[in-house]
Structure 1
Amino acid sequence: MRRPPPLFLAAALAAPIAGCTVGPDFARPQPPGALAYQPPGETVSPRAQLGRGPAQRWWTAFGSPELDALVDRALAHNATLEASNATLSASLNELRAVRGRRAPQIDANARIDQQQVNLAAFGFSGSNPLAPGGNPEFHLYSVGGGVSYDLDLFGGLRRQAEQSAALAESQQRQTEAAHLTIAGQVVGQVLTIAALRAQIATANALLADDQRNVVLTQKRRAGGEGTLVEVLNAQSQYAADRGDLPQLDQQLAEARHLLATLLGMDPAALPPTEIDLARLTLPAAIPVALPSELVHRRPDILQAEAELHAAAAAVGVATARLYPDITLGATLTQGAPAVDGLIRNAFRGYDLFAGLTAPIFHGGTLKAQRAAAIDRARASEARYRQTVLSAFGQVTDLLSAIGSDDRSIGNQQESVAVAQRSRQLSRRSFEVGNSGILQVLEAERLYQRASNGLVLARTRQFLNVARLYVATAGGWIETPGDASPKLPVPGSGSATK
């Protein structure tokens, strides 16, 4: 029997341990067993219904096609999202590059050499029968290629690929969070614009009342029933109320400018935004993900989980560096002094090799690097737990806020009704001469304050509902019947033991 070449002996010896992967196998953190967010005794809004959570296009729950169109435009043209998408694409390409290192590496080469031999360097001088005209020249044409393969005895490359996949998933979740944040910001700006428009409408209605008061006091004074003081009080109040409008107009302009930025357009190109609070629908039921479901939906939690996965894989990478590694390879070269000789077997050569690399002494560097990787994994685990707690705290706060908003709306509506009745009676009393203008002005102040309070309470209610959707929507998780585009998810993004 012929003795097998050393290359194949090395491969046979390495085969039993080639599948070994050192380092900890990542296990996805267990979801919390809590069935509620709020502690016993706290008021829970009947609007909040615990379940799987809202659908992806959660903003459609407000029943406004104009709002839907604005959010869709922002998701398509926002510059921040464009940068985030490009960064995600780069992460996925980097993942493919790392995975490619686990495959055999094949290279080809071609070379043309022209060489002149200096015969004097070898002791020849004078006339040379080999080169009567001087030093001889040679030409060499060669083509060939080689293949090498890292056996990855202890899974260092596998752990690197696992780490890169986890980092790509982390960027994926960060991109999902950016989409979710931009959608929430657009909804918030639209609600802010609607609230400012409602406040401006209330202020204009009050100015109309103020102007009527001025006309009425002037008529009473002309008829001998009023005084100049009453006229001046009415004019002073009209001037004071008119001074509030420029500030509201400025706030509205700034809100529109910010909305244009979110939509990825110049403020001058922003079309009119005529969305009113009265035209928005407040959802009667708000689906809220259970705590055990929330950890699998929120992008920031999933990002923290992916970073924990990457940190665990980094421990395996550092551990593999403590052990030997074997690389197998082969090269084939065809070289000839003339091009037509490249096809002849006589000019062919090959090389088979197996290389072993084993750490002997590095001054404790490799062990220190592994210890640092373990510490970073512990830090990632702590950040993950903190992210989960912060998310639960945010949802709990918003659930409490929605319950408070329901009560606040009822109180403000009652306050507006009482103030409106008081204003009507005060004006009627002034018209018949039973009271002065100051009572009318005070009644109108109370009515304006109550009306603005109702507008702000409704705006706060809509904003808190939108924030709760953002806090529990979970980014771009596909739901039945949802045909909107999805971001690409790395194939190995899910955690496995």
Structure 2
Amino acid sequence: MKFIRASGIVARPLPLRFLQMLPGLLGILGGCAVGPDFSKPATSAQAGYRPAPVTLPPAGPTDPQQHLNLGGELVGQWWTLFKSHELDDTLTLAVANSPTLDTARSTLAQAQQAILVARSGYFPQADLAAGAQRERVSVSAFDSGEYATGAIFAVGPTVSYGPDLFGRVRRQVEENTALTDVQRYALAAAWLTLTGNAVNEAITSASAREQTRAVQDIIAVDRRNAELVEFERSAGKAARTDVLTAQSQLAADVALLPPLQQQLSAAHDALAILVGKTPAEWAAPRFDFDMIVLPVDVPVTLPSALVRTRPDVLAAESQLHAASAAIGVASADLYPGITLSASWTQQAPRMGPLFDSANGLWSVAAGLTAPLFHGGALKAQRQGAVDAFDAQLGVYRQTVLAAFGQVADSLKALQHDAEALAAQRAALDSAQASLALSQESYRVGAASLLDVLLSQRLYAQARLGYAKAKGQRYLDTAQLFEATGGGWQASMANDAGPAR
């Protein structure tokens, strides 16, 4: 075999046997990953929403009674349970045009690229180096003043590889994968918040419109009452204080109208923003309770499955996983690291013979770096990662507790809503019967017009209370669907990926 000696470096072709052994050698160098292996936190077997099962009572003779379907599966587009085409169309626009979802999707894509960056550590890094230099060297061992000037051209690839001896790269990939899951569940949470807000604003709009009609009826009765009292005063049958009382009542009831109108206007503007439009570009549909059906069969996620359906809980779990992997990264820094490198260089004093085989030089090198003394920084770094994991574990536990509490509150709210609605319905029926009796008494001359107007006012006030209770029942039903996860896994299969 021919040897070429240049500048004290021996260059010869790489032995074929060494190339055949290289993959196996790299596999041996890749040892096990240090640090803890993550396991999902266990849910307590006693975890539940309420000490006893919640049952929903009847909501009166005219309103449907809801039934809880514990363990029932919530459909992906959960708002379709309200059976409103206008609501479906609004939610379709919101999901398609939301800037919030676009931001979350881009953030998720960025996190996915971070995984690819981390995975690059599994592979050798190859580069191409080229250079040219001109130098002046002495041609005599003595200071005779004899020098030679020449140029050197060099080009060739270099390859370096750091075997993942203690799993640092694997833990980095694991950490970035977990952080990507955090962003995936953040996207799901943004979708759930968006759809929940849109449904809530639609229901708020319907409730405000129903309450506005009731207040307008009250104001109409107050005006008739004020006119009648003024007429009786002019006839000498009523005192000045009666007139002032009637006018004061009218002013107080008129003051109820602007807040409801503002609530309705704000709900319309909020819906426009949720669908990605300005209020001038898009007008919200006219939502009324006669076009929104209250779901009667209410699916409720089992307590044992809640931690797998709530995106905020899943995001906290993924953040905990990332903190666990960070312990492995910090642990690997306590151990030695090996770097392998190889290069092949074509070097010649002129460009012409640069690529001749006789001008090829190669080198193979291996380096070992082992931490000896860093002033305690590496151990402190690992302990800091352990402390960060413990802190994130507390965040996860608090997130789970908050999720259970939110579902428990929603279940109890539905129970109280049914009771309140039944009471308001009874009050409305009584006020309606009283009004009918007053009108009949007035017709036969047994009651005055003021008595009729008072009955009308009590009836309108009962209508207002009934509208509030009805709207709250719709809102709490939607909030229960949102609290149990909103079925985002089915609706966001393409965006957020399958649920783990």
- For this structure pair, what is the TM-score category when the shorter chain's length is used for normalisation? 0.7 to 0.9
Q: Which runs of 5+ in 1 are unaligned?
A: 131-135
Q: Does the 8 Å CA contact 2:184/2:497 hold for their aligned counterparts?
A: yes
Matched, 1:303 2:315: yes
Look up the SS of the partner of 1:473 in the other structure: coil
Secondary structure of the structure 1 residue equivalent to 2:309: coil
- Within 1, Cα distance between the matches of 2:456 and 2:407? 39
Partner of 2:457: 445
Report the counterpart of residue 6 of structure 2 in structure 1: none
Q: Which amino acid aligns with 2:39?
A: A
SS at match of 1:362: coil
Shift in alpha-carbon separation, 1:255–1:343, aligned structure 2, 3 A: same
Determine helix, strand or coil for the equivalent of 2:364: strand
1:458 correspondence with 2:470: yes
Q: What is the CA deviation profile of residues 65-124 of structure 1, one whole-angstrom value per residue up to 9, with x for unaligned ones? A: 11112122222222222222221111111121111222221112333x253638899967
What amino acid is aligned across from residue 350 of structure 2 in structure 1? A
Residues 91-490 of structure 1 correspond to what in structure 2 (within 5 A)? 91-111=111-131, 113-115=132-134, 117=136, 136=149, 138-213=150-225, 237-238=249-250, 240-430=252-442, 433-473=445-485, 476-478=488-490, 486-489=494-497
SS at match of 1:153: coil
Task: Give the conservation status (yes or no) of the 8 Å contact 2:55–2:68.
Answer: no
CA contact (8 A) 1:476 1:487 kept: no
Do the aligned partners of 1:81 and 1:175 also contact (CA within 8 Å) in 2?
yes
Give the distance between the partners of 1:408 and 1:17, measured in 2 at CA: 71
How far 1:287 sits from its partner (Å)? Answer: 1.0
Q: Please list the CA deviations of residues 366-400 of structure 1 after superposition, one character each: whole Å capped at 9, or x if unmatched.
A: 11211221122122222222211221111111111
Q: Give how far 1:452 is off.
A: 1.2
Structure 2: distance between partners of 1:336 and 1:366: 46
Aligned to 1:133: none
From 84, 89, 92, the counterpart of 2:109: 89
TM-score (normalised: structure 2) = 0.85
Following the alignment from structure 1 to structure 2, what is the Cα–Cα distance between the partners of residues 65 and 9? 68
Deviation by residue 1:402-422 (Cα, 9 ceiling, x = unmatched): 111112211111111111222
Residue type of the alignment partner of 2:494:
K
Cα deviation digits, residues 281-326 of structure 1 (max 9, x gap): 1111111111111111110110111011111111111111111111
Q: CA deviation at 1:333?
A: 1.6
Mark the CA change 1:346 to 1:118 in structure 2 (over 3 Å): closer, same or farther.
closer
Q: 1:345 to 1:362 in 2, by over 3 A?
A: same
Distance 2:29 2:388 in 1: 28
CA distance in 1, matches of 2:413, 2:363: 74
Correspondence 1:49 to 2:69: yes
8 Å Cα contact 1:53/1:290 also seen in 2: no
Pick closer, same or farther for the CA change 1:283–1:203 going to 2, 3 Å: same
* Contact 2:343–2:363 (Cα < 8 Å) also in 1: yes
CA-CA distance at 1:461 after TM superposition: 0.6
Q: What is the letter of the counterpart of residue 375 of structure 1?
A: D
Partner of 2:5: none
Q: Deviations over 1:6-62 (max 9, x none)?
A: 999998777545231111111122344348521127545652211153122111111
1:58 and 2:78 correspond = yes
Question: What residue ranges of structure 2 are gaps of 5+ in the alignment?
Answer: 1-13, 58-65
Q: 1:474 to 1:24 in 2, by over 3 A?
A: farther
Cα gap change, 1:4/1:306 in structure 2, threshold over 3 Å: closer, same or farther? same
Of 151-160 and 322-331, the range deviating more from structure 2: 322-331
Q: Which amino acid aligns with 1:108?
A: L
Q: Describe the shift of the 1:14–1:239 C-alpha distance in structure 2 as closer, same or farther (beyond 3 A).
A: closer
| 1:361 Cα deviation from its structure 2 partner | 1.4
- Indicate if the aligned counterparts of 2:187 and 2:496 stay in contact, CA closer than 8 A: no
| Contact 1:190-1:259 within 8 A present in 2 as well | yes
Task: Tell me if the contact between 1:169 and 1:489 (Cα under 8 Å) persists in the aligned partners.
Answer: no
Which string of whole-angstrom CA distances, capped at 9 and with x for unpartnered residues, describes residues 136-182 of structure 1? 5x444432112222111110110111011011101111111111011
Q: In the TM superposition, what are the counterparts of 1:12-27 in structure 2 within 5 Å?
A: 15-16=27-28, 18-27=30-39
Q: Secondary structure at the match of 1:269?
A: coil
Superposed displacement of residue 329, structure 1: 2.1
